[in-house]
Every structure is written in C-alpha cells, then in structure tokens.
Amino acid sequence: MLSPEKRKPAALPEGLRIYAIGDVHGRLDLLDSLARRIEADLRDAPALAFTIFLGDYVDRGPNSAGVVDRLARRDFPTEFLALRGNHEEVMLNFLLEPAVLENWRNYGGLETLHSYGIDVLPAMRGLGYEGMRDSLLERLPRSHEEFLRETEYYTTSGDYFFCHAGVRPGTPLDEQSPRDLLWIREEFLAFRGSWDRVIVHGHTPVDQPELLASRINVDTGAFASSILTAVVLEGSERRILSTARTAGRSAVEEKRQPLPRPA
C-alpha cells in the first residue's frame, strides 16, 4: 500500500480505453442498451478498446439466462473479460449441492431458475431442491456453464485492479482470497487508506457511481434502479456511461471528472 502523499494519478497505458461495467443481475434490456451506447462511444476510441464485466450477471432481474447467453456468445461491441461475482459462485455451487438453494432462493436464485424455464413454486415452499438442480443441469446450455466456470476473480491493467466486491486491507493485491474478492464489503468500504492500484468494483449498490481516489464503485443497483453503469477509463481520465433516464426519456449519462486527489 502507498501513503497518499506518494500516490500519483492512476492511469492506463497509452492507446487503451477500458469500459468497466457493474452488476447486471439479469437485466438483459439494460445490457443491450448499454452495449449500444458503448458502440456509439467507440467512434472516438483509441487503438484498443476493451470491456471488463465486474460480475453478478445472474439473479434478481428477470432474464439471467438471456444475459449469460449474450455474454457466452461474445456478442458485444468490444472484446471483453468477464469476472466472477458472488452470485455466479453460488449458482455454480448449486450445480454441485442442491441444499445451496435454501439460501440462494432468498437473493435471486428463483428468478434465475425461472429464466431457464424451471417451475420454482416448490422451492417457494422449501421443497424440491434436488429436482430443481437436476432440471437446471438439463436445461443449462453447455456454453452457459463454460462461460460461468471460466469467469476470473480479478484482473489488472495499468494502475487499476478490477474485481467484483473489493479487497481486504492489509493483504497484498496478488494474495487476495477468492472469498474476499467475491464477498467482502464493510472492511473494504470502511478502509480509508490506499493500495498500489485503484480498485474498480461493484457488489455494493449505490445511488451514484463512486469515483474516489482509492476505489471506483459502479454498481448502481441495475435490477431495481434500471441504471446499469460503466466507468470509462482512458489515460488518467475517468468518466461515466450509463442507462440513466433524464426528463422522462432514455439518455446517456456521461460526465467527465478530474481525478480525485487523496484527502
């Protein structure tokens, strides 16, 4: 970790633009909309533009199967890397152990199963978990399962570290545990120091994207807010591209912001 006085403005290598997208949570409609806006934004892109999805493609929203299908087909305006979220981790665990549904049903698992055409009524009564696991194994396309299993826990580029939930203070970035990268919240969010890279994450919904000196949060609660957000990183610049609605109509929310300085 670096002390604030030694910290330089975070930047990407010259000629690279990264779109880092927050939690989609089954909102294929918003993913489609943001993809169109990214496609339009590419008109003035540098030599290389790349997208990093920060995890949580499934659960809560109505069309998890559609989101996974689009990403598994690599149908997006740029090349991309998909990171794993805690919700993908739970879904994969359910494929191995049906009892996982006892908890998963409380935070979006039933919506995901329903999106794959599975009758979830028994699970609403706490029944039929094994049968639902078997049904999901039958209905889940191999390409979907391969996509989920191939998701990565983190990646880095330039002065940025990308993960789903955050990192544990006091632990070097290259030694972070998968559990913390997928699940950490309070210990990470309350930390007022800095790391040797700026952490770009989702996992914790916020009303507005947080562009801070040491971390960037782009989870704007898409499943409930209908706002799916990407932070656009290029050189030392950060700006926001989203599916926000203004004045009753759909609009790109784009705001260029100077790099925040450590307090």
Q: Given this model, what pLDDT does residue 8 score?
A: 76
Digit-coded pLDDT (tens) for 82-141 = 999 999 999 999 999 999 999 999 999 999 999 999 999 999 999 999 999 999 999 999
Note whether 176 and 154 are within 8 A (CB): yes
Q: Would you say residue 173 lies in a domain?
A: yes
User: Does residue 110 belong to any structural domain of this protein?
Assistant: yes
Mean pLDDT of 151-157: 98
> With 90 as the cut, is the pLDDT of residue 154 above it?
yes
Which pLDDT tens digit goes with each residue over 1-10?
444 445 678 9
Domain membership of residue 136 (yes or no) is yes
**Ramachandran region, residue 62 (left: φ > 0; alpha: ψ -120 to 50; beta: rest):** alpha
Per DSSP, helices labelled H in 22-166 are 28-41, 64-72, 86-96, 101-104, 109-115, 121-124, 129-139, 142-150
- The number of distinct structural domains making up the chain is 1
Per-residue pLDDT at 7? 60
CATH of the domain at 111: 3.60.21.10
- Owning domain of residue 126: 17-257
Is 204 contained in some domain? yes
Closest CA to 182 of 203, 196, 199: 203
102 within some domain: yes
Question: What is the C-alpha to C-alpha distance for residues 35 and 42, in angstroms, rounded to an integer?
Answer: 11
pTM, to two decimals: 0.90
Give residue 46's pLDDT band: very low, low, confident or very high (50, 70, 90).
Answer: confident
pLDDT at 2: 46
How many C-beta atoms lie closer than 10 Å to residue 106's C-beta?
9
> What does the pLDDT look like over 188-208, one tens digit per residue?
999 999 999 999 999 999 999
Asked whether residue 262 is assigned to any structural domain, the reply reads no
Euclidean distance between CA atoms 174 and 68, whole angstroms: 28
